[in-house]
Amino acid sequence: MDRRQFISRTAAAGVTGAGLASLAACSSTELKTALENENNQHQAAGILSLAQRQQGLASFACNIEQWFRGEIPFLDRMAAAKSIGFSAVEIWNPFDKDRGRTPEIIAQRAADVGVKITSYSPHPPNFADPKNEKPFLEWLDLTISAGKTLNIPNFNLTGHKLIKGLTVEQMIENYTRVLKRVAPRLEAENMIATIEPYNPFNHKGHFMYGHEPALSICREVNSPSVKINWDFFHMQRTNGNLITHLENGFDQVAYIQLADSPDRNQPGTGEVAYGKVLTRLRELGYPGYIGAEFFPQNKNAVQAASDLAQLALNIELKAPSI
């Protein structure tokens, strides 16, 4: 069988990661035996069945930049994500022709596999620097066009590196001014730019950490098209007190991502009580997908998917309503 047929077949069976690589040359008889052996191993390890994982993972989008990294080629990771129970994925930069990435190619592969893309994170010029305003506007044209191709109405916005010679106050002022300028364009295109604050431990050299100044910027811009990608991992590392800060900033939340703290693996491997956090998230009225932007512990994607699904099943997490 060719690569497409093989990936489609193993995706339906729930095999990924090293399993995909090792099964690539199997005959149909060998494949059946290998799949049975893998399913038996999963049951022995207490891993949820594929059907249970699919149910529990309905709210989550697999970040295929961090999952399967170094194990599976980028485009094939969509099938790998589906093979372990995800119906949605998220990506970072869709522009990298040298590695076979274009919005058109990515969109076609997602359609072929049957997964939804929920978010993308192209790399903007550092637009807090006035010298980068024109390049940023050109970048925005490409980014909006990519969103239309990918059928995604929201993209993550960074561009907040420290700039030599400017104070933090000046950088925030420049950043806010540019967002005010582009907000009407985003509104006309029905697109949402979600500011993504980082944390100072994993992302040194930025001026946007935790909930501030992102919250103040969004409230000043005052547009339905400029909101926050509220990444619980970054918020925990920077501010802690996740539920209270979420409640206080929820009016500016447009997208959610998560990882446990401090090691950025799946929930249950660190310090965050994600059952309570996600329950409150849905109670507040967040209807969308939650980006699983973390590294599966020990590169065990099936275990990470099972852990995440089990969390959702335990708290009866409602599936997205959008």
The pTM of this model reads 0.89
Query: Phi and psi (nearest 5°) for 198?
Result: -105, -160
Tokens of 230: 């509220």
Domain ranges in the chain? Answer: 47-315
Distance CA 52, CA 205 (A): 42
DSSP codes, 180-217 = HHHHHHHHHTT-EEEE--B-TTTS-SBS-BTTBTHHHH
Distance of CA 119 to the CA centre of its chain: 6
For residue 165, the model assigns a pLDDT of: 96
Q: Please report, as a single letter, which amino acid is at residue 197.
A: P
Tokens of 84: 């372990």
Q: Are 291 and 33 in contact (CB under 8 A)?
A: no
Q: Which CATH number fits domain 47-315: 3.30.43.10, 3.20.20.150, 3.20.20.70, 3.40.50.720?
A: 3.20.20.150
Nearest to 199 by CA among 143, 255, 259, 252: 259
DSSP codes, 73-100 = -GGGHHHHHHHTT-SEEE-S---BGGGT
**pLDDT in 10s for each residue of the chain, 322 residues:** 455 555 544 554 455 555 555 544 455 555 445 444 555 566 557 899 999 999 999 999 999 999 999 999 999 999 999 999 999 999 999 998 777 799 999 999 999 999 999 999 999 999 999 999 999 999 999 999 999 999 999 999 999 999 999 999 999 999 999 999 999 999 999 999 999 999 999 999 999 999 999 999 999 999 999 999 999 999 999 999 999 999 999 999 999 999 999 999 999 999 999 999 999 999 999 999 999 999 999 999 999 999 999 999 999 999 999 8
Compute the 3-state secondary structure of the chain and give helix, strand, coil in percent, each to the nearest 5. Answer: 50, 10, 35
